[in-house]
Amino acid sequence: MKKLFLCLFTCFLGSIYSASSQNVYLLYDKAVPKAEYAAKMLEKALLEQEYSVLEEQTGYDYLISIAVNTVNLGSEAYSIIPEGKIITIYGGDHRGMIYGSLSVAESIRNGTSLQNIKKSSESPHNALRAIKHNTPWYTYRPSSALDLHYETVRDVKYWEAFLDMMAKNRFNSLSLWNLHPFVYMIKPKNFPEASPFSDKEMEEWKHLHSEIFRMADERAIDTYIIPFNIFVSPEFSEAYNVAQENVYPNYYVPGDTSEIVKRYTRESITQVFQEYPTLTGIGLTLGEGMAGMTPQQREDWIYETYIEGMRQVGRDLKLVHRIPFSSTSESLGKTSVELEQLTRNAIEREAGLDFIEGPIWADLKYNWSHAHSTPQLVKVHGGEMFDTFYNPEPEGYKVTYTARNEDFFALRWGVPGFIREHIALNSQSYIGGYFIGSETYIPAKDYFTAIDAPVDWNYAFERQWLFYKLWGRLLYNPKTPDDIFQAEFNERYGSQGDNLLQAYSLASATQLRLASLYDSRWDFTLYGEGFMALIGDNTQYISVDQLISHPTLDPDYVSVKDFVEKRASRGSFEKDAVTPPVLIDMLEADTQKALSLVEDINTETNASLMYEVADVKTWSYLGLHLAEKLKGAVALQTYRIKGGAENKQNAVNHLEKALDYWDKVIKITRPIYKDMPLTHYNGSSHDRNKDNLFHWALIRPEVAQDIEIAKNATVNGSN
């Protein structure tokens, strides 16, 4: 027995020694910045696992060769080939080379020794895997929830961390959005009066943008600026007495098509691309700042300014042509076949230009501003999407979708099955990929964390690591197994993280079900984690009456009102219909399972793990709150139609239970989450709202009001 123990102990020590004392040489082209980056990320992982990385190519135990192989691999693809002491990482291009290196680094971090690295390969499913990132300067909406990020987003260290995250998760494009980016990037040569900055201030802005684009290029990430139209700086407007309304924070304003505005816009675009040689492309927005113009006039203005400005740059550029949503001369309007045909003609004209690198990305918002709902495409911004853009199939452009998140900023989210289904439903040959991001939220400054304890994040996006990892990796390869995501939990939390991926998949599906049940349109029409929506002109808690009467987004879902009416008339439902009772069962089963999965996790010594578990519990109790609220809504609507004291009492009882679950949410979140600025509190107004703090505790009186609504209900009447 002693000999056996000694043998096992010796083998154990030997395995530790062999893993921690092995010498590795990284072979790559040191003259190529992208190869330098790939090697740096791989070296970092090796050092973390106590390998020694050699300076010279002698005395190595393993040699890792990092190179490009365009003969056997396509764009962005990679292969990993272990052969004895040699591990070769090939990329079909520099981007694929980086992804292959990051894949090996991930395996090392997850405990795989170099000896056990397996032969593998991957290639991209979606050509475009982009992040939508607003800036807090000259941003789309005036709100402290956005401009509180000002200093963070001006810090180069923030962008280094963000771009590392993008590369790690296989996002290949960064798009920066604001109303008018140009004066923050250049001092216009022929319009110096347009700049609000001194020379010193301008140099600081130029350094920031140069570093963003340089670091992105180093990581093989394309960069786009996406302005809105027609907007200028206040200084330009004042100096030339034009575009008086076309300045921050306005956006639904008439288009100023004067020649000096056209020239200023055109020259600014040319100068920006000439001064930033690694900036990849630009996006076109044909809506805000263009009231009073017909769709054709908008396209013509864009061609005379943006496209002509691009032509004069002197190098090929990429283009995002956002598909307009207004078929009228108003800022807000509806989609139409005629508008789609006009837009397609404009995009195909642009695709024929020799200075635009194809394909053009023809972008639409998936389910308007709330993609985290049903995976089915129900609507785009403005209404229905017709088949004009893919029938016949295009050659010079690809359709892309912006999957907006205006629904959860504080709570972590992750449902891999939803994203896989989303991608599966949108993998037609004419689809190019996705933009992922928000309009009303910037993932920079952490303005959520209330406790004073060490956590493993510095920035807001790092709190939502699972969200970005799921979207990025699955857009690259939808077959990426859940093991990859689960391994990240274990790398962070050890065995305590064993159940967290499954728990999130179950618990944060609450968001998808609420957003599928409650129809939404633009940004403020739903805020899922707060169970709030735009009701009238104000954002407020979704009352039981609103839940009863509001239509659903997902066509398979059945509203409370329709369910009660059909049941009263003894009608039947389609086989796949998600009626309130079906939805209640789904919510209860999944959330109770999620709660059981995290019940025994010990978070006392790890604040980061505590937040992960707390968010699972919060989503779960929000799901149980919705389940009880639905029960109460069905009973209440039944009482109003048929009467019966028992129905009324059932409604009260269920709504009281719903409040109990809301109180559980408050009990969890009150100590660990600050009161958080929320852009949605602007409501229907275009003005800044200073009274904009959200916390679940702050709206408890609105939640409790449901009980009073039920108590005061009358038959065949409402309050």
Which segment of 247-256, 273-282, 473-482, 531-540 scores lowest on mean pLDDT?
247-256
Given this model, what pLDDT does residue 3 score? 42
Q: What is the C-alpha to C-alpha distance for residues 54 and 33, in angstroms, rounded to an integer?
A: 20
Q: Quick one: average pLDDT of 257-284?
A: 98
Distance of CA 704 to the CA centre of its chain: 32
- In the chain, the percentage of residues whose pLDDT exceeds 70 is 97
Given this model, what pLDDT does residue 324 score? 85
Residue 353 reports pLDDT greater than 70: yes
Burial of 326 (0-12, 13-18, 19+ CB in 10 A): buried
Q: Quick one: average pLDDT of 64-83?
A: 98
Per-residue pLDDT tens digits for 215-242? 999 999 999 999 999 999 999 999 999 9
Q: Quick one: average pLDDT of 526-539?
A: 98
Q: What is the C-alpha to C-alpha distance for residues 42 and 356, in angstroms, rounded to an integer?
A: 35
Q: What is the C-alpha to C-alpha distance for residues 100 and 491, in angstroms, rounded to an integer?
A: 20
- In the chain, the percentage of residues whose pLDDT exceeds 90 is 94
What's the mean pLDDT when you consider all of the chain?
95
Given this model, what pLDDT does residue 20 score? 59
Q: What is the C-alpha to C-alpha distance for residues 615 and 50, in angstroms, rounded to an integer?
A: 34
Q: What are phi and psi of 307, to 5 degrees?
A: -70, -40
Kindly give, in sequence order, each residue whose CB lies less than 8 Å from that of residue 719, ignoring residues fewer than 6 positions away: 545, 709, 712, 713
Given this model, what pLDDT does residue 376 score? 98
SS3 289: strand
Q: What is the DSSP letter of 679?
A: G
Give yes or no for a cis peptide into 230 (omega within 30° of 0). Answer: yes
Q: Quick one: average pLDDT of 387-410?
A: 97
Given this model, what pLDDT does residue 328 score? 76
Given this model, what pLDDT does residue 17 score? 40
Per-residue pLDDT tens digits for 660-697? 999 999 999 999 999 999 999 999 998 999 999 999 99
Residue 523 reports pLDDT greater than 60: yes
Per-residue pLDDT tens digits for 303-348? 999 999 999 999 999 999 999 878 777 777 788 999 999 999 999 9
Residue 647 reports pLDDT greater than 50: yes
Given this model, what pLDDT does residue 719 score? 41
Residue 440 reports pLDDT greater than 70: yes
Burial of 399 (0-12, 13-18, 19+ CB in 10 A): buried
In Å, the largest CA–CA distance within the chain is 93
Given this model, what pLDDT does residue 326 score? 80
Q: What is the C-alpha to C-alpha distance for residues 459 and 449, in angstroms, rounded to an integer?
A: 11
Q: What is the C-alpha to C-alpha distance for residues 64 and 24, in angstroms, rounded to an integer?
A: 7
Residue 13 reports pLDDT greater than 70: no
Per-residue pLDDT tens digits for 634-645? 999 999 999 999
Given this model, what pLDDT does residue 335 score? 87
Confidence of residue 4 (pLDDT cuts 50, 70, 90): very low
Confidence of residue 430 (pLDDT cuts 50, 70, 90): very high
Residue 270 reports pLDDT greater than 50: yes
SS3 63: strand
Residue 83 reports pLDDT greater than 60: yes
Q: Quick one: average pLDDT of 1-15?
A: 41
